[in-house]
Structure 1
């Protein structure tokens, strides 16, 4: 019987995190992080490596996970680490609202899709075997529910009173980031669920992707067009890069308004071309074949 080995994704992920930390520490004269972040991401990598490695057979995985798929998952974890630590963390927490928006866009529009793409379909099917989890998935994966959960979370946390509390209390800030990541996974689930049978029809996916960016765009527009500083912590923060508080706020709002929508449009385009390709294949497969008879040969 072959000996079970730890999947290489764990070593690559942990070593890469260590390299980022130590190189960043030397380059930036320090790399700020909270111990919970590398521990949490390391735990996620360890669980993933165990599931696609030594536990794969018992969880229903017949073939090894392709290298590009597990590298996508590991890369998502590394982007999450960079987003929550080091310069991005320092700038977003202590200096610039626009820096905070960069962080939020990374953990809602880049990390969750990559985590879903990196998760094998058989692992999700196995996780949803318990009836309560299957029922919860059916509820949260309903496009309207997923839409409201994700969009509502983004909108509510940008209300000045709640947002300002994240800059004062660490536990509130941690809760905000966890909710952003979890609800973003829910928001992306209808179009990127690892098991395709869990997604709605491709036409509904495209409509969903067409509508998904609008709440974030509206929030970004309101922030951009505000003529006063909505988040006082940034008004009293030390100024860097010559940005005054209102200009910084406008840049952050524009990031939510314009570039954020680009991610959804790219995903929509990918879904459209997949739908078009599938339709073409189906049309070619339905071409009538005339039976070969003696009269036709002659």
Structure 2
């Protein structure tokens, strides 16, 4: 059965397009037009603008395109959506918004103490792992999918935890302590390990875990998150099997595997970037030490001659 039966709004989320366009306009107003209103600022860099636009495009692709609709039909699409929403979009946003804008945000009196606490590497890693694991516990997951308000609140806090988890890796505000490269490498590995139990539970469970992907009535209720109820009421649908040839267990296992693979790829790229920067810095430091030692040796030799 074609997805077009759900209508244009469910397939392409025109309201989200409006929100993303609004955020993009505000971004360029703040970073270009209103930049001089900040006490400290710099011209917007091309790389920063590129990262922000990529974040907005990616956000629309995973939450506004038919991928979002498919995430309510197939669990594997949901896990792909989660992987990019939680691991890549926050990273792009952190790198896309200039440091002088972040400085105003993180030093705001109401937010500063919370930010300092939740961006501590140990806390941020465990909070994200806990939120991700809770989200995908069968009872909680189905409750989230069946209540629009609960879904919005939990997803927001899950995304916020992902933002705090990514900050120690890519955040760069002058005056704030940065993790050393070797610590970043250990942090990346720890994050990869911490969500492994949740993925393993999904992959190796012998039975389908989520009624919103197996029970027709629960599935139809969950579909209201992305399809207007008026549209659903006019359709004769029995369950997600009308749009999916995979068995629920196979779909569930594929979702867990894809989440882990995408996480490993993203973290692998970040790990390689951190290691490369560390290696280059070490070589520079070694060269500087050698040059200083040679200079001191030559100075001592000359002084002995005199």
Aligned equivalent of 1:120: 98
Asked if structure 1 preserves the Cα contact closer than 8 Å seen for 2:42 and 2:100, the reply is no
Residues 241-260 of structure 1 correspond to what in structure 2 (within 5 A)? 241-260=244-263
Distance 2:16 2:7 in 1: 20
| Equivalent pair of 2:83/2:262 in contact (CA under 8 Å) | no
Gaps of 5+ in 2: 216-238
> Is residue 155–residue 215 contact of structure 1 (8 Å, CA) maintained in 2?
no
Structure with max Cα Rg: 2
Give the alignment's TM-score, normalised by structure 1.
0.82
* Structure 1 position 199 matched with structure 2 position 201: no
CA deviation profile, 1:229-278 (whole Å, cap 9, x unmatched)? 10012114322352011100010011123332221122112111111111
1:45 paired residue among 8, 20, 24: 24
Structure-1 residue corresponding to 2:279: 276
On the 8 A contact 1:120/1:194 being kept in 2, the answer is: no
Of 67, 74, 96, the residue aligned with 1:96 is 74
Q: Rate the CA distance shift 1:135–1:176 in 2: closer, same or farther, 3 A.
A: closer
Q: Which moved more, 1:103-112 or 1:118-127?
A: 118-127
CA distance in 1: counterparts of 2:98 and 2:288, whole angstroms: 29
- Structure number having the greater helix percentage: 2
Other-structure match for 1:184 = 162
TM-score under structure 2 length normalisation: 0.80
Confirm or deny: 8 A CA contact 1:220 1:255 kept in the other structure: no
Counterpart for residue 196 of structure 2: 217
2:49 is the counterpart of 1:70: yes
**Which residue of 2 is the match for residue 14 of structure 1?**
none
How does 1:5-20 map onto structure 2 within 5 Å? none
- Long gaps (5+) in structure 1: 1-24
| 8 Å CA contact 2:74, 2:244 repeated in 1 | no
Q: Residues 49 and 198 from structure 1, CA distance in 2 versus in 1: closer, same or farther, beyond 3 angstroms?
A: farther
Residue number among 74, 80, 95 corresponding to 2:59 in the alignment = 80
**Alignment-derived partner of residue 111 in structure 2:** 133
Answer yes or no: is 1:55 the counterpart of 2:34.
Answer: yes
Query: Which residue among 101, 109, 127 is the counterpart of 1:149?
Result: 127
